[in-house]
Amino acid sequence: MGIRLDIDGLKNFVTEADINSLSPAVTKAHQDLHGKTGAGNDFVGWVDLPSRTPDALVSELESLAAEVRGHSQAIISIGIGGSYLGIRSSLEFLGGESSLPLYYAGHNMYTTDLARVVRLIEQKDVTVVVISKSGTTTEPALAFRVVDAAMRRKYGASGLKKRVICVTDEKRGALRQIANREGYRSYCIPDDVGGRFSVLTPVGLVPLALAGVDIRAMVNGFRAGEKEYAQADLAKNSCYRYAAIRNLLYRKGKVIEMMASFYPNMQYVAEWWKQLYGESEGKGGQGIFPASTILSTDLHSMGQMMQDGMRNIFETFVSVDKVADSVIVPSQADDIDSFNCVAGRDLEWVNQQAYKATASAHYEGGVPNMTIALERADAFNLGQLYYFFEKGVGISGYILGVNPFDQPGVEAYKKKMFALLGKK
């Protein structure tokens, strides 16, 4: 039923009594989030964003997607950070055939990637989604300059209009100015939802709708999360338990959290999670370092360190109960490789045994672990998982004692970079 948190792998590391000892802190965090009375309370709009997301927006985006499919063969999504990771995590998690293939730009400053996007524009009909609250973040701004020039060469100023969609501030910033001046369709990024919390705002919903993702189901899952994780009772709120547990482990010297999954479609969800938790909690010399592996692949690279390296790690598995595909292991007459013992089994069954064995072995090696279990890798469960992690970091960050909703540290390199660029 929904998302389960299994804490068998924590026994003797973190007890129910330990978890309950954080009940006052969790309750205070809950009240601060819901009452907007904690640090960074200008940026907690995501707490009730699901219930404030209108069905009408979903319908509008579904229509927009149908219109775009009529004139485009590919989407170019320009954005970085929260304007990139939630889109990629969703598309790769859900897999399947995109109704329109989606390409990224402005997510780095690698000439090879941007040159490839320019060639795409020359070869196919495209629609571009530009996602930037300020319009002055360097990577997407420069990518948009290049993409805009290529689009104008191909379509001219009038042909461009239906092919550029902006997701930006309602009133302010360079991209809002451009959208208004050019008459581009635009959607608004709310002022009270920071980038790493924005996947279920138009930041994610617009490009995902265009790519054919079932955003209706994703929003429904997001809403289910808002309900499920609103319970103040720590014993019943798996999201709050996750937040409490990671603080308890951190206090015991487990300063690295390894998000591990035997489901490779989780790879970019883990990248999205790294931004959410790393950027929220990496402050004042504190914060759990977020890392990730995809298994069983990385058992053959990071497995030795997980088993025998420094004991400063805890592991958070993310599992899926029912996978989409079935592959049966064939029998072989002479059983040279000795795997007839699993002939007739689904490969997914073998995968699950590998997970059980790994969780057990790592536990015995001194790596406490827990499992976040999803029923299916579908849009609904993903929406709920996004809310689980967003609510989780709000609670976790407040327990840690930081403001989870700002990111002052990133100004340091930006200042130096702007000086080198000669930018005012």
By CB under 8 A, the residues from 1 to 60 that bind its own copies are none
Sole binder of its own copies in the list 308, 321, 344, 401 (CB under 8 A): 308
CB of 46 to its own copies, least distance (A): 17
101 near its own copies, judged by CB under 8 A: no
Whether the CB-CB separation of 133 and 169 falls below 8 Å is answered with yes
CB of 392 to its own copies, least distance (A): 17
Q: Write down the catalytic residue from 279, 281, 315, 390.
A: 279
188 near its own copies, judged by CB under 8 A: no
Sole binder of its own copies in the list 97, 158, 330, 333 (CB under 8 A): 330
Binding mask 112-151 for its own copies (x = CB under 8 A): xxxx--x----------------xx-xx-xx-xxx-xx--
Give, as ranges, the residues between 189 and 218 that touch its own copies (CB under 8 A): 195-196
Q: What is the largest CA-CA distance in the chain?
A: 73
* Amino acid found at 178: I
300 classed as catalytic: yes
71 classed as catalytic: no
397 near its own copies, judged by CB under 8 A: no
Residues 157, 163, 164, 170, Cα dihedral to 10°: 110
* Amino acid found at 206: V
Q: Encode 356-395: b = buried (16+ Cβ within 10 Å), e = exposed.
A: eebbeebbeebbbbbbbbbeebbbbbbbbbbbbbbbbbbb
Q: How far apart, in whole angstroms, are the C-alpha atoms of residue 299 and residue 306?
A: 9
Q: Which is nearer to its own copies, 44 or 178 (CB)?
A: 178
CB of 7 to its own copies, least distance (A): 20
For residue 312, give the 3-state DSSP assignment.
coil
Q: Which is nearer to its own copies, 22 or 117 (CB)?
A: 117
Sole binder of its own copies in the list 23, 41, 99, 108 (CB under 8 A): 108
Q: Write down the catalytic residue from 11, 71, 171, 414.
A: 414
Would you put residue 292 in left (φ > 0), alpha (ψ -120 to 50) or beta?
A: beta
279 classed as catalytic: yes
Whether the CB-CB separation of 219 and 52 falls below 8 Å is answered with no
341 near its own copies, judged by CB under 8 A: yes
Q: How far apart, in whole angstroms, are the C-alpha atoms of residue 276 and residue 73?
A: 32
Q: Which is nearer to its own copies, 16 or 308 (CB)?
A: 308
